[in-house]
Structure 1
Amino acid sequence: HGDHAQNRWFDTCLQFIVANSGRAGLNGEHTPCDAMIPSRLFHHIVEQEHATDPLVSARHDGYPLLPRLEAPQPLTFRTDAAIDALIADAQREADRAIAGVEVAMLETHVYGARYMKEVAKTSPDSFVQMALQLAYYRLHGAPTAVYETAATRGFAHGRTETGRSLSSESLDFCAAFDNDDVSYEVKRDLLREAVAAHQQWMREAGAGHGSDRHFLGLAEMRRPDEPVPELLAQPVFARSKTFHLSTSNVSPGRAGYSGFGPGTADGYGCNYAIDTDAIRISISANRASRVAQPYRYGDELVRALKDLMILFAKPSEVWGKDWKTRHQQDRTHARDAAVMADLNRDYMRLESKLSEKYRRVER
């Protein structure tokens, strides 16, 4: 969030945040676009723009020499007392909001998309969704409505629809998984049924057959002086859209983590990226909640992922097949990381020398 949310701008959709250590991030304003678009953009940049020192790039695989850029100049704003007071109020509110959210960052190398596709023979997204539900069921002893972002970009001006991940099939799977009287074969069948139901729900939502945006439109059409329609006032309707699990898939997410806040006071915001042999997840929750426990939920999620392996064999040929071809990109990442580490060490040494020089001048 920066220093007290300073130097963060929301009058533009995307803000690239680049530190002098070589690390970078992206701050997104959600109104004009959805997470997958900037996620794909950022992933493409990281994949194509290799880490090099622009002054000595010729020594690193012959990348072309980059021109020296002018140093950025700070913007000077003219304000008055009233604007200064509003800025101070906004900063206090931002600090309060930041301090009120707790985030657990999780990276597990238990397995990734390769295992889910080639061994479990399932959709990676559906597989992770079932793990998310199993972890929640174990921790809280009951299911909850689950929101997953379903893209409707196949339509003109399409944005999103609610993918309702919880189903009768997924509840049956979660309820049976820790029952020792249920065989592994039955549990595996229940998982496959839950995955099939999830994929069907997501296909229908993406094809414009979801219900949540339709009801939202009807609710927004109601004038303030009109009574709330009976259906929209039903407690079961309100409960059905109280998503204590709000989730979004931004795979592959190799550049790092992404995240968002919880959708309810006692819920979790789960942003996940499924890589070839890893899963990265950020889990947010409100600190004031006496129900949500992001770190414990993260532990339960890792346990659920490990336990799901029991249902499937792991043929050795899957892990050895085409290893060199499959992991060529991983070697590129490792090389770029090493170059960036060298650049970072050079920068830190230079910074230390400059600091010592200024201290001598001050004395």
Structure 2
Amino acid sequence: YRWEWVLADERISGYEWATQLEARKTVSCEVERYDVTETAELHESIRQASKSLEGFADDIDVHQILYDKVGQAAIKKQAKVSPDGFVQLAIQLTWRRLHGGVVPVYEPCMMRLFLKGRTDTIRSVTDESAAFTEQFDNAETTNDQKRRLLANAVFVHSKQTRQNMAFGGIDRHLFGLAVLAMGLNSKFGWFAQETAFLKSALTRPWTISSSQVPQSQLTSVGLDEDMNVPGLGGFGAVDKTGYGVGYCFIGKNRVMLTVTSYHSCERTSSQRFFEALTQSVEDMMAIC
């Protein structure tokens, strides 16, 4: 991504030779040569790794489409909620419609407020989001009630996002405690029970791994709503029985949706999830 950004930035902003050469005087660019001795064992390891990677890649089921029926402008104007929270609820509604119930949904949160801050975890499933997805397809629930459930669930999601951005999440703290507990347990044998709890909390599978994929380069070149945009974002599902859902808002009226799963799992299908997801989005917009 860094290399891609450098190339794009130079193409957009131009390359100032004098400035760049002056900056390079303060940068160490020493290169050290590494000689690799080829052996039969090395070639066999490469062959096995290549075969394993090909098998893994062939198992990934990817479905990506630039969706243009609903964008962030319509969500803000018509639904009057955060576009990110809206999509997160649509993802949860889609799972309930296809598979039933509620499963863990992971969403990363950037912690740019802190020096060297990376990410924490937004646990998107809440009591409020579960109530919304449970009642949405209930014929006895009125559209007014559904709208209130939607607004409340998105409000809670947005509040959690802000808290996590301010270091108010729990997953990085749990990870730090787990590392500490394992170290103390190996040295003193005191924290066996606590370590078991932390291990359980941190190793539960994220059935749905999701993320809003940001983009800056398209904005820099002046994004045209009719611009033919290449595939953006996307990642493999963390859980072999779940999905990876990436979404990137393109301008005001389009969303690049990327859904991944695994062919080896009989119950999942990226295309089926994508179709159900877009239907969920349109159904949610219809009540607003």
Cα distance in 2, alignment partners of residues 138 and 98 from structure 1: 28
Q: Paired residue for 1:299, among 253, 264, 275?
A: 275
1:51-93 deviation digits (Å, cap 9, x = unpaired): xxxxxxxxxxxxxxxxxxxxxxxxx976332322222122112
Aligned-pair CA distance for 1:234: 4.7
Determine if contact 2:71/2:249 at 8 Å carries over to the other structure.
yes
**What's the secondary structure of 1:270's corresponding residue?**
strand
Corresponding letter in the other structure for 1:48: I
Structure 1's 239 and 299: CA in aligned 2 closer, same or farther, altered over 3 A?
farther
Contact kept, 8 Å, 1:104 with 1:282, in 2: the verdict is yes
2:266 to 270, 273, 290: 290
Question: 1:232-247 counterparts in 2 under 5 A?
Answer: 232-234=195-197, 237-238=200-201, 241-247=204-210
What amino acid sits opposite 1:310 in the alignment?
Answer: A
The residue aligned with 1:308 is: 284
Q: Which residue, 53, 59, 62 being the options, matches 1:100?
A: 59
Match of 1:207 among 149, 166, 182: 166
| Deviates most, 245-254 or 92-101 | 245-254
Taking a change above 3 Å as real, the CA distance of residues 133 and 47 of structure 1, as seen in their structure-2 partners, is: farther
- Do residues 89 (structure 1) and 48 (structure 2) align? yes
Could you tell me how far apart the structure 1 residues matched to 2:55 and 2:72 are? 38
1:161 aligned onto 2:161: no
Aligned counterpart for 1:268 among listed residues 243, 252, 258 = 243
Specify the SS of the correspondent of 1:156.
coil
Contact 1:145 1:240 in 2 (8 A): no
Aligned to 1:80: 39
User: Please, which runs of 5 or more residues in structure 1 have no aligned partner?
Assistant: 1-12, 17-37, 51-75, 313-363
Residue 228 of structure 1 deviates from its aligned partner by: 6.4
Per-residue CA distance 1:220-255 (angstroms, 9 max, x = gap): 231474576435535995499421111111135754
Q: Which residue of 2 aligns with 1:146?
A: 105
Partner SS, residue 304 of structure 1:
helix
Deviation, 1:300, is: 0.8
Mapped to 2, the partners of 1:148 and 1:191 lie a distance apart of 18
Please point out which of 251, 254, 257 is paired with 1:278.
Answer: 254
- The one-letter code sitting in structure 2 at the alignment partner of 1:196 is F
Q: Cα distance, 1:177 vs. partner?
A: 0.5
Separation (CA, whole Å) in 2 of partners of 1:96 and 1:204: 41
- 8 Å CA contact retained: 1:245, 1:269: yes
Normalised to the residue count of structure 2, the TM-score between the two structures is 0.78
Q: Which has the larger radius of gyration?
A: 1
Counterpart AA for 1:250: V
On the 8 A contact 2:75/2:285 being kept in 1, the answer is no
CA distance in structure 1 between the partners assigned to 2:66 and 2:191 by the alignment: 45
Flag the 1:229–1:81 CA change in 2: closer, same or farther, 3 A.
same
* Deviation of the 1:295 alpha carbon: 1.7
**Quick one: which of 173, 178, 189 aligns to 2:132?**
173
CA distance in 2, matches of 1:181, 1:116: 25
Cα distance in structure 1, aligned partners of 2:286 and 2:98: 20
- Aligned partners of 2:257, 2:75: CA distance in 1, in Å? 17
Residue equivalent to 2:150: 191
CA-CA distance at 1:181 after TM superposition: 0.7
| Paired residues, number | 251
Deviations 1:121-141 (A, max 9, x none): 111111111111111111111
Amino acid paired to 1:162: T
Give me the identity figure in percent. 28
Who is 1:258 aligned against?
A: 233
Q: Can you list the C-alpha shifts for 1:150-203, whole angstroms capped at 9, x where unaligned?
A: 001211111000011111111110011001111101100100000000001111
* Structure 2: runs of 5 or more not aligned: 15-34, 219-228
Offset of 1:288 from its aligned partner? 1.8
Query: Cα offset for 1:143?
Result: 0.9
Alpha-carbon deviation of 1:293?
2.3
Structure 2 equivalent of residue 117 of structure 1: 76
Q: Does the Cα contact within 8 Å between 1:164 and 1:202 map onto a contact in 2? A: no
Give the drift of 1:146. 0.9
Indicate conservation of the 8 Å contact 1:258/1:282, yes or no. yes
The change in CA–CA distance for 1:244 and 1:198 in structure 2 (over 3 A counts) is same
